[in-house]
Amino acid sequence: MSALPRHVLNTGWILVLPFLVLVVALFLGPIVNILWLSVSEPTPGLGNYAKLFTSDSLGRIIGTTVRICVISTAISVALGYSIAYAMVHAADASRNKMLGLLLMSFWISVLVRTFSWLMLLGRNGVVNNGLEALGIISQPISFMRNELGVLIGMVHYMVPYAVLPILASMQSIDGRVVQASRSLGATGAQTFWRVYLPLTRAGIVAASLLVFIINLGFYVVPAVLGGGKVLMVAEYISVQVLVTLQWGTAAMLAALMLFGVLALLFLMSRFMKLSTVFGGGKA
Amino acid sequence: MKAGLPARFNSGLSWVLLVFLVAPALVAIPVSLTPKRFLSFPTNELSLQYYIKLFSSPEWMSSFWQSAVIAIASTLLATAIGTLCAIGLWRVSSKAGEVVRAILLLPLVIPPIIAAMAFYRLFVPLGLIDSYAGLILAHTVLSAPLVLITVSASLAGFDPRLEQASRNLGASNWTTIRRVIVPGIKPGILAGAVFAFISSWDEIVVTLFLSKFSVYTLPRRMWNGIRENTDPTVAAAAVVLMAVTLVAFTVWALAARRNRTTK
């Protein structure tokens, strides 16, 4: 670093400054303030955190959130793995088409998608009417206002996020390893389970953590498709802040969520360079 | 090596999945064309009445323009500070720089609900709730990390000797950035700007907290429409929202392809 002329070093930091100031002043500072609120509102102390152990409803909401997040993550990563595998093994032209579809779905508004699910999954929605017309079901399945609907909406949103880290790890595999395994007599299935899958472990772990993190704070899909029946932490926070004005409880839940997310991010950084995950996503 | 049966099955399945990822969003299109008075699929005839209603409604139109103003303003800001920051971190290229980069990417990974609370608590005493300035600043913070990522990716392929050459030939620091570096990383800047625009244009969670009456963006009004779940105009609005996103996405895809073929 000392080899660089001093002024170059300085001008580098000057360029960073506007963004850094904005993030610290408008984002990190206020978040620290929220953490502070969690131990100072309405009275100083750990009263808000004690509620976790005394309030049944808080326990239930956190339980629901974690359960839905785990299930949604598992399904999204499994589906994402299948798509990533197909993409890596596809010819260039079809891989580009697949990537196009993936990125398109990545950028379609979550609000529009949630609205569409509302139309598809309702009692008289396309799915129920279709299944009835085909004679598969005799009365409508209820998808909405329950965890099934929330899961469908969440998985649908999360699959692209799961694909990208897995894709990155698959692309880094040396194809000769697979050939070596085959030429040594392993069957295709053996090669996949014993050679290929373990080599993509980092991608699977990174994808799972990323998807889990985003699921944890998911607001729109549970609020609309859950219809008040599936209460998850993010929606509960918004009710506490905007309706019942209980900042203490809301701040405590936000603090828990924040520490959870940061811990998972740290864990994720041990498996995969975070820049590959995000760089692959948006670039 | 010829693909085995399981691989071919998986490839077929993946196509189905990918179509499944995009297709449901298109449901808004037929719903928006229904001739009926409630949210439904058209059966016999199609009608444009809800588009007429959308484009002649002062509320929907004001939301549309408000969203556009906020998205464009925050895109310009985010692109400017995100690009400068990426160039700065590229020049610094040190451990401290990487720590700062990680901090600056936090707005992408911290759940929006937490960001919404933080902005809300900060903006109430500042009088920025329900104002353009508040939403523009909030959206800038949330979208500038996208610019940082895309521009950094472009800079990774930019030859630092070009910068040195420019400086050695007597160009000032600012001239070097404007005439040498920025033209070299244009694809990254454009991609960042497009992504920043889409992320502000679609943003709902933070907006739910920061907008009340006078600033009411398109996603905010759609949110109400979805909650009420009766008026098909919301389907027409969804189609318009999606169409704008799609146009931005196409601009980026075409530019990316052109860059790939010229290089």
In this prediction, residues A182-211 reach a mean pLDDT of: 90
pLDDT band at A283; cut points 50, 70, 90: very low
Chain A residue whose CA is closest to B250: A104
**Do B115 and A82 count as a contact with CB atoms less than 8 A apart?**
no
Chain A residue whose CA is closest to B91: A12
Measured in degrees and rounded to the nearest 5, phi and psi for residue A131 equal -65, -35
Q: Which of the residues B19, B74, B79, B91 would you substitute to probe the A interface, choosing the one with the greatest number of A C-beta atoms within 10 Å?
A: B91
Instruction: Kindly tell me the burial class for residue A234, based on how many C-beta atoms sit within 10 Å of its own C-beta (0-12, 13-18, 19 or more).
Output: buried
**Do B14 and A11 count as a contact with CB atoms less than 8 A apart?**
no
Closest-CA distance of chain B to residue A41, Å: 13
Q: Which of the residues B77, B99, B110 would you substitute to probe the A interface, choosing the one with the greatest number of A C-beta atoms within 10 Å?
A: B110
Instruction: Give, in order, the Cα–Cα distances in Å from A12 to each of A100, B23, B87, B173.
Output: 35, 45, 7, 10
What was the pLDDT predicted at B14?
92
What was the pLDDT predicted at B256?
81
Domain assignment present for B6: no
For residues B84 and B153, what is the distance between their CA atoms, to the nearest angstrom?
14
pLDDT band at A127; cut points 50, 70, 90: confident
Domain assignment present for B36: no
**Do B7 and A112 count as a contact with CB atoms less than 8 A apart?**
no
Higher-confidence position of A7 and A163 = A163
In this prediction, residues A29-46 reach a mean pLDDT of: 91
Domain assignment present for B11: no
What was the pLDDT predicted at B229?
78
Closest-CA distance of chain B to residue A248, Å: 12
In this prediction, residues A235-250 reach a mean pLDDT of: 91
**Do B120 and A241 count as a contact with CB atoms less than 8 A apart?**
yes
Facing B25 at nearest CB: one of A31, A116, A237: A116
Closest by alpha carbon to B121, among A244, A34, A252? A34
CA atoms within 13 Å, Cβ hemisphere of A265: 20
For residues B148 and B80, what is the distance between their CA atoms, to the nearest angstrom?
10
For residues A18 and A161, what is the distance between their CA atoms, to the nearest angstrom?
30
What was the pLDDT predicted at B138?
97
Stretch among A43-47, A91-95, A275-279 having the lowest mean pLDDT: A275-279
- Total-model pTM: 0.90
Q: What is the ipTM of this complex?
A: 0.89
For residues B146 and B214, what is the distance between their CA atoms, to the nearest angstrom?
29
Closest-CA distance of chain B to residue A103, Å: 9
Facing A33 at nearest CB: one of B102, B109, B118: B118
Q: Cβ contacts (< 8 Å) between B208 and chain A: which residues?
A: 238, 242
**Do A219 and B112 count as a contact with CB atoms less than 8 A apart?**
yes
pLDDT band at B4; cut points 50, 70, 90: confident
Domain assignment present for B41: no
Measured in degrees and rounded to the nearest 5, phi and psi for residue A136 equal -80, -35
**pLDDT tens digits for B50-84?**
999 999 999 999 999 999 999 999 999 999 999 99
**pLDDT tens digits for B118-142?**
999 999 999 999 999 999 999 999 9
Closest by alpha carbon to A84, among B17, B24, B20? B17
**pLDDT tens digits for B11-40?**
889 999 999 899 888 889 998 998 888 888
Q: Is the C-alpha dihedral spanning B40, B43, B48, B53 positive or negative? A: negative
Chain B residue whose CA is closest to A157: B21
Domain assignment present for B57: yes
CATH number of the domain enclosing B73: 1.10.3720.10
Label residue B127 left, alpha or beta by phi (over 0 means left) and psi (-120 to 50 means alpha).
Answer: left
Q: B246: which residues sit within 8 A by CB, 6+ positions away?
A: A104
Task: Tell me the domain boundaries of chain A.
Answer: 1-40, 54-282
Domain assignment present for B253: yes
Q: Cβ contacts (< 8 Å) between A61 and chain B: which residues?
A: none
pLDDT band at B258; cut points 50, 70, 90: confident
What was the pLDDT predicted at A1?
45
Map residue B83 onto helix, strand or coil.
helix
What was the pLDDT predicted at B61?
95
For residues B154 and A94, what is the distance between their CA atoms, to the nearest angstrom?
25
Higher-confidence position of B76 and B180 = B76
What domain range includes position B111? Answer: 49-262
- B138's tokens: 């909030």
The residue whose two tokens read 């924040």 is: A258
**Do B110 and A117 count as a contact with CB atoms less than 8 A apart?**
no
Q: Is the C-alpha dihedral spanning B122, B128, B132, B133 positive or negative? A: negative
**Do A27 and B118 count as a contact with CB atoms less than 8 A apart?**
yes
Q: Which fold has domain A54-282?
A: MetI-like fold (1.10.3720)
Closest-CA distance of chain A to residue B120, Å: 9
Q: Which of the residues B15, B113, B151 would you substitute to probe the A interface, choosing the one with the greatest number of A C-beta atoms within 10 Å?
A: B113
**Do B226 and A242 count as a contact with CB atoms less than 8 A apart?**
no
Domain assignment present for B32: no
**pLDDT tens digits for A258-267?**
999 999 988 8
Rounded to the nearest integer, the mean pLDDT of chain B is 90
Q: Is the C-alpha dihedral spanning B245, B248, B252, B257 positive or negative? A: positive
Chain A residue whose CA is closest to B84: A15
Facing B104 at nearest CB: one of A23, A117, A237: A23
DSSP structure class, residue B154: H
> Radius of gyration of chain A from Cα atoms?
23
For chain A, the three-class secondary structure string (H helix, E strand, C coil) is CCCCCHHHHHHHHHHHHHHHHHHHHHHHHHHHHHHHHHHHCCCCCCHHHHHHHHCHHHHHHHHHHHHHHHHHHHHHHHHHHHHHHHHHCCCHHHHHHHHHHHHHHHHCCHHHHHHHHHHHHCCCCHHHHHHHHCCCCCCCCCCCCCHHHHHHHHHHHHHHHHHHHHHHHHHCCCHHHHHHHHHCCCCHHHHHHHHHHHHCHHHHHHHHHHHHHHHHCCCHHHHHHCCCCCCCHHHHHHHHHHCCCCHHHHHHHHHHHHHHHHHHHHHHHHHCCHHHHHHHHHC
Q: Cβ contacts (< 8 Å) between A164 and chain B: which residues?
A: none
- Give percent of chain B above pLDDT 70: 98
pLDDT band at A6; cut points 50, 70, 90: low
Domain count, chain B: 1
**Do B117 and A159 count as a contact with CB atoms less than 8 A apart?**
no
Q: Which of the residues B81, B210, B231 would you substitute to probe the A interface, choosing the one with the greatest number of A C-beta atoms within 10 Å?
A: B81
Q: Cβ contacts (< 8 Å) between A263 and chain B: which residues?
A: none
For residues A146 and A241, what is the distance between their CA atoms, to the nearest angstrom?
24
Chain B residue whose CA is closest to A250: B117
**pLDDT tens digits for B194-241?**
999 999 999 999 999 999 888 999 999 999 988 887 888 999 999 999
Domain assignment present for B72: yes
Q: Does residue A8 carry a pLDDT above 60?
A: no
